[in-house]
Structures are given as structure tokens and as C-alpha cells.
Amino acid sequence: MSRSKRAIAPGKTSDSLLASDSSKGAETRSRLVDAVIQSVARNGLEGTTITRLCEISGLSRGLISFHFDGKDQLLEAALARAIAHYEASWDACVAGPTRTDRERLHLVIDHDLEFAAAEPDILALWWAAWGEARAKDIYRASSGARDQRFVDDLAAMFRGAGLSSAPARRAASLLNATLLGFWLQMHLEDDAGNLGRLRTAGHALVDALLAPAR
């Protein structure tokens, strides 16, 4: 009975996210996810094969099917970690010392650009997933959830900075799109000099969007 193996294996995506499971298997799962993120950035989604993941992680072939039931689920787990990583970073940014909402919006821009600069591999995984979004529903769903919450938070900041409900929502959606565009640019050409230029452009955008409320 091959199906029973799944019941035995405790490898679920939630475990690797929480990292609260300190068992040996959890660490192996984490190393496999690491390997995926590294490989997708280097070899693309197509070039990310079981063999390659074993080379990178130094683990044996069978483990992938043992811990995650299949390569696809491992990819999902990697994407889940990427999302969790970003959200944790986002939470830390938002939960910082209270300032004016205008300052907060500027900080958000800095945060996103710094995240992209610090984690190019995670960004690459994200883009790879978006690239296949129309083919694999999983990718689309996971990114959609992130988007919703992100835009909501931004809208709240715009309201706090003086915009009324509808314009705030529009401004949030706009800023969200722009930041995604920034991410794409950083993904395509990892020019460190670009970062400063994008930063000032982003700040200018926030100021322009807030101008009518000044």
C-alpha cells in the first residue's frame, strides 16, 4: 500500500512554515525548500528537477516523495514559505514605531525595495510562480490572498493621511501596482544603483497621490 505512506509522513506545508516542529524531518523539509528556492532562481522552474535538488541539498532522491507527496507539493511549500517570509517582514514594518501615515507609506516603499534587494531568490520564485499562474491554480490563489491584504493595509494608510475612502482605495491599488513593477525591474536587472532611483520615484508617487489632501 503506497498510499498509507502519506499518512505516516508528517510532512505538511504548515509544519515547515511554523518551524515549531523541531523534529529531524522538519529540518530536512526546510533544507528541501531551501534547495527549491535556490534552484528556481538559478535554473528556472523548468531546470528545477529532483536530481538538481538532491545535488544542492545533498539529500537523496526518495526524501522528496517521503516528506512532501510529490514535487509539486514541494514547490507549493516553497512558495508558501516565500509568502510567509514576506508577510513576516511586512508585519514587522507596519508594527514599527507609530509615525504619521505619510511617513508610514514612505517606509512601505523602502521596505519592499529592501526586501527585493535582500531576497532576490525569493523574488525569483515569486515571479516564476506568477509566470505559470494561468496554468497552475495554486500559484494564482496564493498570490491573490497576499495582494488583498496588502492593498487593504495601504488603503488604511492613505485614509489616515487624509484621503477619503474611495480615493484611498484607488491610491492603494495604484501604489501596489507600481511596487510590483519595481519588483519586476529589480528581478530582471539586479542593478544595485537602481534601488535608490526607484526609492525616490516611489516617494514622489506617494507625495503626488497625497497632494490633493495636503
Partner DNA sequence: ATAAAAACTAAACGATCGTTCAACTTTACC
Partner DNA sequence: GGTAAAGTTGAACGATCGTTTAGTTTTTAT
Q: Yes or no: say if 85 and 123 are a contact pair by the CB < 8 Å rule.
A: no
Vertex 24 angle, CA 22 and 26, to 5°: 60
- What would you report as the CA-atom Rg of the chain, rounded to the nearest whole angstrom? 20
Could you say whether residue 159 binds DNA (CB under 7 A)? no
Q: Among residues 33, 37, 64, 125, which is the contact residue for DNA, using CB under 7 A?
A: 64
Q: How far is the CB of 174 from its own copies (least distance, A)?
A: 5
Distance of CA 180 to the CA centre of its chain: 11
Whole-number minimum distance, CB 124 to its own copies, in Å? Answer: 5
Task: Quote the least distance from Cβ 16 to DNA, whole Å.
Answer: 12
Kindly report the CA angle at 171 between 147 and 117, in degrees rounded to 5? 55
Distance CA 112, CA 107 (A): 9
Binding to DNA by CB under 7 A, coded x per residue (else -) over 9-48, reads xx------------xxxxxx-------------------x
Alpha carbons 105 and 95: distance in angstroms, whole number: 13
Determine if 138 is a binding residue for DNA (CB under 7 A).
no
Smallest CA-to-CA distance from 211 within 160, 161, 176 is with: 161
Query: Among residues 96 and 144, whose Cβ is nearest to its own copies?
Result: 144
Q: Position of cell 528556481?
A: 40
Amino acid letter for position 109: I
Residues in region 101-160 near its own copies by CB under 8 A: 120, 124, 127-136, 140, 143-144, 147
C-alpha cell at 187: 528581478
Q: How far is the CB of 171 from DNA (least distance, A)?
A: 43
List the x/- string, 47-66, binding to its own copies by CB under 8 A: x-------------------
Interatomic CA distance for residues 79 and 117, integer angstroms? 18
Is 197 near its own copies (CB under 8 A)? Answer: yes
Whole-number minimum distance, CB 184 to its own copies, in Å? 5
Using CB under 8 A as the criterion, which residues of the chain lie in contact with its own copies when the complex forms? 41-47, 120, 124, 127-136, 140, 143-144, 147, 170, 173-174, 176-182, 184-185, 187-189, 197-198, 200-202, 204-205, 208-209, 211
